[in-house]
Structure formats: C-alpha cells, structure tokens
Amino acid sequence: MIKLIAFDLDGTIGETVPMCIRAFEQAVSPYAGRTLSEREITQTFGLNEVGMIKVVAGEKWREALHDFYPVYEQMHDECPEPYEGIRELIHTLKDAGILVALITGKGEKSCRITLEKFGMQDLFCSVKTGAEDRPNKAEAIEELLDAYHVAKDEFYYIGDAVSDVTACKKADVPCLSAAWGTTADISGLEEANPSRVFFSIEDLSHFLLHLREGT
C-alpha cells in the first residue's frame, strides 16, 4: 500500500529547467567573467543555487546570488503555470489518503518563488530543499520516511533526472521517471529505470490510481 509520494520540482511539476538555465546565465555570468555555457550550468545541478553559484562565481558568489533571485523571479513569468494535469493528480492522490511531499535540489528561496508562482505553496505535506555542498535527495527521502513512519515499499519518488533514479537507489526506494518535459534524458532514464518511465502525466496518473485500486 502506497502511503507517501514525493515529487521533484523542475522538469517534473513544471517546465522550469530552461528558465532556470537562462536566469543563471544572465545573472551569474558577469561574476564568472565569461558567458556561462548551458553545459557549465547543468554540471552544477544537484546543488542548490547557493552551491551552484559558488562553483562558478568563486569569491563573488554573494553578489551573484543577490542578483540571481530577482532575475529568476522575473523570468518565471515565462513559465507561470505547472504542467497541465499535475495539480489534478496531486489532489487526486491526496483525496485517496496518500501523503504528497516535494523533494527538490533547489534552494529554499527559489523553491518558494516557483511554488508561489504556480499557486502550489500549500499543496505539500512537506517540502525538502537542496544543499549547497552535495546532492541530498537520498537524505531527504530517508528523513521523510522517518518523519511520517512510512516503510520503503510504501513510498514512491517521481523525478525527471537520471540522478533521481540514483538517489532512490541509494535510499533503497522505487523511482518513477517523469519523461514529459522537454529536457528529460529519455534514453538515460530508460537505461537507468527500465519499465518505470512515463511519457505523460496521464499515463502516470493511470499507473498510480490502478496501483491504489489494487491495494
């Protein structure tokens, strides 16, 4: 019986990855002394924005971080809504008595901006954000399981990245891979998480609801 489901944010709940990259490039490049490439930026994914900026801006990270947030918030107007159907899925899960949490690599402030833009700030039973010095999703999963007294086979994590699969394996919990975003690495997800890759929110909804009905 599934008691708790946690969602990733960027690329799973909303098409925010391209906007995140553009905001990072615009705000942080002046402090890095060069125009940051998409590859340089994505290589820092897994850390929160503080850690990401420290990697590329060095001693000027505080100034870069100060500039990042208003740029991020302004650019979020390009992505004002989550993926169609994701709110409905979360409400359906909650109505079925399943706890729904959020585990993201984003920092607390950028996470809050995105949830407020999406009108989802009060939708989750718990919100776990990223660390600046290491990927911490496996730790966050374990903290959630402990806090809500949920067994590992009563939990699913839903994320769009291969690193999400890795974190779930580390925490010894199942991962459902979200491949509906434009930035999803489909071949990587299919290799890392075979038979658990979903190409639409509708397909994931059917899987979770049938799973619920069968328990």
List pLDDT tens digits, range 80-131: 999 999 999 999 999 999 999 999 999 999 999 999 999 999 999 999 999 9
* Confidence at 209, pLDDT banded by 50, 70, 90: confident
Percent of the chain with pLDDT over 70: 98
CB 17 within 8 A of CB 10: yes
In this predicted structure, the answer to whether residue 210 has a pLDDT above a threshold of 90 is no
Rounded Cα distance between 182 and 172, Å, is 28
Q: Which DSSP category does 206 fall into?
A: H
Pairing of strands 155-159, 175-178: parallel
Residue 215: the pLDDT is: 46
Residue 212: the pLDDT is: 62
* Confidence at 72, pLDDT banded by 50, 70, 90: very high
Percent of the chain with pLDDT over 90: 96
